[in-house]
Structure 1
Amino acid sequence: MHAERCSGSYNAVISLGSNCLPAIQLERNGLRRFTGPIDWMDSKHTPAIIELIHNHFDHFLYKPHLQSLGILNDFVLIQDNRYQVIVVHDFPVSNNDEHHWNSYPEVVDKVTRRIQRLYQYMERSDRLLFIRTDTTMNDALLLEQELRSHVKKEFHLLIVNHENVGTLSPLHWPLVYGTAFALPKNNDIWNDNDAHWKTLLQGVKIVPSRKFTN
């Protein structure tokens, strides 16, 4: 199965999208210690995420680049058109509408703190685990190259895709710093794959460090 390749001790496990699922699974498996910049956002386009990391999130959520996509589940969906990221859960209709984003200053302040913490961890950690879902092999190779240019010490990139498979299945990709797996997609991916996520993450442990601020 080769899930043991991502086992071991890490200072943090960080979600890189492509949606809320990695953050949810980290929470369910007791591995989520803080919120990353895009934990609760929709970020389907891996090249845009690579650009975002490369640019240190420069002009991320810059207001002239934003547009409303409508309302879903009592939240106004706001898209960053430069980086193709959709803010899903930060503009509640109780305080915002499609034309007036009253939560904007609070959201930007919150995300800025999370960005600063991300780069602090990449600079100071002994070992980090990054997780991203639903990514092509070529994009995963480019993503790990970009991470290599920012992470000072060790890291592992875990790719989890949803494909036409019956169970947790390794993907034999030529990743240098990571591993890739496929999970069944013909089910409720938000709940029905919990046992497979547990298998992937059961060997992962968080080792706190005093190098970081909360």
Structure 2
Amino acid sequence: MHINELKRRYSAIYSLGQNCYPSIHLRRLGLRPFAGFLDWNLSHSLSGVNRLIKNDFHNFLLLENLAFTNYWLDGKELAFLDTLNDIESVHDFKSPPNTTTSLPSYPEVKAKYDARIKRFMENANTCELILFVRLGGTYIEIKELEEILEEKVKNQFHILFITEASIPKEPKLTHTCIIQTPITTELCLEDTFWNQVFEGITVETP
């Protein structure tokens, strides 16, 4: 797909990671009327995201699979990796009250994600046109994502795939627009780039 084919009005728009920046820019541009299920996480591989969607989010962020990885914001937030799905929560667990070995906020966090997943599953069955935005991944992974979404999304969908990976000259992708560029911190922070990418794209408000 060409980028101009994405310039439509969508029923919903979802970021599929790899980090928070797609969600940040969607919100800045008024294209994120509600939170998605991966907005404030690090999804280290698109394969993990694919597996999560394919399995209908079963066993996502289970307490027994969470492993402490790092401190954020000078120790005010704790990052935990969902080792089963290779997805890292980086902004959900505040410190205090949470510690590296105790998560009293876990029930609230899990309920939040369950609600976001429920909304996505409903949208997948009812929305006329959904846009998915993914930063990072390989051609094989994005092809697999297309195949999974063809099964999970009832109506139409498009994917905006921003990658620095090698892409075949004639990619056999029906729903995906590929932007091939080095993924750097500067790119993630650059308003001009995202403004151009999302120009002409609008979303319905709930």
Hey, what does 1:166 align to over in structure 2? none
Hey, what does 2:194 align to over in structure 1? 197
Secondary structure of 2:13's counterpart equals strand
**What is the CA deviation profile of residues 65-105 of structure 1, one whole-angstrom value per residue up to 9, with x for unaligned ones?**
11111312221111100000000001111211101111101
Bigger fraction of residues in helix: 2
Quote the offset at 1:185 in angstroms: 3.8
- The amino acid that maps onto 2:61 is L
With normalisation by structure 2, the TM-score equals: 0.91
Hey, what does 1:173 align to over in structure 2? 171
Whole-Å separation in 1 of the counterparts to 2:204 and 2:38 = 23
- The amino acid that maps onto 1:205 is T
Quote the offset at 1:29 in angstroms: 1.6
- The amino acid that maps onto 1:81 is T
The answer to whether the 8 A contact 2:21-2:189 is kept is no
2:134 counterpart (132, 135, 156): 132
1:1-40, aligned counterparts within 5 Å?
A: 2-40=2-40
Hey, what does 1:115 align to over in structure 2? 117
Quote the offset at 1:208 in angstroms: 3.9
1:50-65, aligned counterparts within 5 Å?
A: 50-65=50-65
Task: Please tell me the root mean square deviation across aligned C-alpha atoms, in Å.
Answer: 1.9
Q: Name the CA shift for 1:99/1:89 in 2 (closer, same or farther; >3 Å).
A: same
- The amino acid that maps onto 2:14 is I
Q: Percent of pairs identical after alignment?
A: 30
Quote the offset at 1:184 in angstroms: 4.4
Per mean C-alpha deviation after superposition, the further-off stretch among 107-116 and 48-57 is 48-57
1:79-98, aligned counterparts within 5 Å?
A: 79-98=81-100
Whole-Å separation in 2 of the counterparts to 1:98 and 1:63 = 13
- The amino acid that maps onto 1:91 is F
Quote the offset at 1:59 in angstroms: 1.0
Quote the offset at 1:32 in angstroms: 0.5
1:153 counterpart (155, 161, 164): 155
Secondary structure of 1:89's counterpart equals strand
Whole-Å separation in 2 of the counterparts to 1:8 and 1:140 = 21
Q: Name the CA shift for 1:186/1:18 in 2 (closer, same or farther; >3 Å).
A: closer
Can you give the 5+ residue segments of structure 2 that lack an aligned partner in the other structure?
A: none
Quote the offset at 1:196 in angstroms: 1.8
Quote the offset at 1:187 in angstroms: 5.5
**Number of equivalent positions:** 202
Quote the offset at 1:2 in angstroms: 3.1
Can you give the 5+ residue segments of structure 1 that lack an aligned partner in the other structure?
A: 164-170, 210-214
Q: Name the CA shift for 1:207/1:72 in 2 (closer, same or farther; >3 Å).
A: closer
Secondary structure of 1:88's counterpart equals strand
The answer to whether the 8 A contact 2:42-2:90 is kept is yes
Whole-Å separation in 1 of the counterparts to 2:188 and 2:46 = 20
**What is the CA deviation profile of residues 92-135 of structure 1, one whole-angstrom value per residue up to 9, with x for unaligned ones?**
11211101111101100000000000111110000000001111
Whole-Å separation in 2 of the counterparts to 1:30 and 1:184 = 26
- The amino acid that maps onto 2:13 is V
The answer to whether the 8 A contact 1:6-1:178 is kept is no
With normalisation by structure 1, the TM-score equals: 0.88
Tell me whether 1:102 sits opposite 2:104 in the alignment.
Answer: yes
